[in-house]
Amino acid sequence: MGYRYEIRFSGAGGQGLILISIILAEAVGIYEGKFVSQTQSYGAEAWGGSSKAEVIISDEEIDYPEVMNLDLLLAMNQKSCDAYYRDLRQGGILIVDSTFVHQVPTPRAFSIPFTHIAREELKQEKSANIVALGALTQLISIVSPKSIEAAVLARVPKGTEKMNRAALKAGIRAARQAKKARKEIEIVPEISEEELRDAY
């Protein structure tokens, strides 16, 4: 059986999730030569309603382009986190925009303030999706930063290349910090009751 990796981007309409799903699909399909499918759906309202996009990546032809065993969920708001977290397979990766997601269902999630970073560092809140895409390249090994950058620059309007490169780099930095923080938490040794008593 071939390799298959399933990703869902979710949040509100207007957050650019459809765009980054297309960019990811093009990065993987065009620049890395893998098989890929991309699907999308909107809620009742295009702007501010729910938005969902899925990308399936494989090393062989994809016969069924629907999520069966979700490997990664990016939730850009609380509603989408609550709605889709249970679709993640055991051991799957949850990434949330901590600007809007305050109730995270697992301590193993990567909580990164994508929108805050875009607003404060880039002065462009709508770049949060590209910040998230940059972070993705550090949290999974399915696609390289180089391929993502090439796909981003092929898609974004002329004149915005510098800003989008900065957004990708900001996401990469934030994800590296999140991974480092995770490792520090995981290596903290547990202290026994006997050791605690001896400390006083």
Q: What are the pLDDT tens digits along the chain (200 aa)?
A: 578 999 999 999 889 999 999 999 999 999 999 999 999 986 654 455 678 999 999 999 999 988 999 999 999 999 999 999 999 999 999 999 999 999 999 999 999 999 999 999 999 999 999 999 999 999 999 999 999 999 999 999 999 999 999 999 999 999 999 999 887 765 544 444 555 455 44
| Domains defined for the chain, CATH in brackets | 4-188 (3.40.920.10)
Element (H, E) at 114: helix 114-121
Q: What totals of helices (H) and strands (E) does the chain contain, helices first?
A: 7, 6
Tally of CA atoms within 13 A in the half-sphere of 199 that contains its CB: 6
Give the residue among 57, 5, 66, 68 at the shortest CA–CA distance from 31: 57
The residues, ordered by sequence, that sit 6+ positions from 161 with a Cβ below 8 Å of its Cβ are: 153
Contact 100, 125 (CB under 8 A): no
Element (H, E) at 21: helix 17-26
